[in-house]
Amino acid sequence: MSLVNVEKRDHVLLIGLNRPEKMNAMNREMYHQIAAAYYQLENDPELRVGLMYAEGDHFTSGLQLDDWAGVFANGKGIEPGEGELDPFHITGPGLSKPVVFAAQGICFTCGVEMMLNTDVRVAAKGTRFAQLEVKRGIFACGGATIRLQREIGWGNAQRYLLTGDEWTADQAYHWGLIQELVEPGEQFKVALEIAGNIAKAAPLGVQGSLRSSKIAVSEGQEAAKQRLFPDLQPVMASEDVKEGIQSFLERRDAVFKGK
């Protein structure tokens, strides 16, 4: 049985952790299957958005440390293979397409770090989050030390990175770390609805919005300003812009082709 369920549903790629008997603990094989799914999302022109979720009662209990100890000691870290794209975006290029994230139960360590490399997050009420690494003798190495303070503020991030304590879905919603807080069992449905709405929008417009936002965060606002109109120019020459204008004039829903 695959450790990750991967399914194309129209323009959405569903990526589901599938090791519920182990609370979806991530071993190296699961990592590489997720990385392959991310590569598929990036390189399949029919796909416009990903949805990451998990089977069972929990998103993930975190990394299976006994399987990863040798990797962490190699001085290079986690490396995706050929035909893979790092879902933590620590190594290699990142996605140009958005990912929606749905969590339930416990979402620890690598679960939080994959969430931080997604764009819209949904969590069921009662979901618990934690970066437990300092309680296991290491520190977070999947991006939490790089991204968490940006999401929830310096003090909030250090409060949990330095203690390994848990925080709640209510706290995450209050901080803006998650965008939708839903009843248990509704997280996948709501996340799929959001992903579907993204997939209906103009793909070049979505990817341009995401790219500009990422440049502003990673390189600064001035770099984003310099790239704004040069990046917009080819989008304005697309068939989708014509469709967007025509559908507005005809008072109908646009049908975009990503061209």
Residue that the structure tokens 């940006």 belong to = 150
- Check if the beta carbon of residue 62 is closer than 8 Å to that of residue 23: no
Tokens of 13: 């790629």
DSSP 31: H
Which is catalytic among the residues 113, 183, 243, 250?
Answer: 113
Q: SS3 of 61, please?
A: coil
Q: SS3 of 157, please?
A: helix
Q: How far is CA 51 from the centre of its chain?
A: 8
Count of beta carbons in the 10 Å neighbourhood of residue 84: 20
d(CA 88, CA 114): 5
**Nearest to 231, CA basis, from 87, 92, 96, 47:** 96
In 10-57, DSSP assigns E strands to 12-17, 49-54
d(CA 178, CA 181): 7
42 in catalytic set: no
- Taking each helix axis from N to C terminus, what angle separates 144-152 and 154-161, rounded to the nearest 10 degrees? 140
Which is catalytic among the residues 29, 46, 133, 193?
Answer: 133
- Taking each helix axis from N to C terminus, what angle separates 239-249 and 221-236, rounded to the nearest 10 degrees? 80
- Check if the beta carbon of residue 155 is closer than 8 Å to that of residue 167: no
222 in catalytic set: no
Catalytic residues: 113, 133
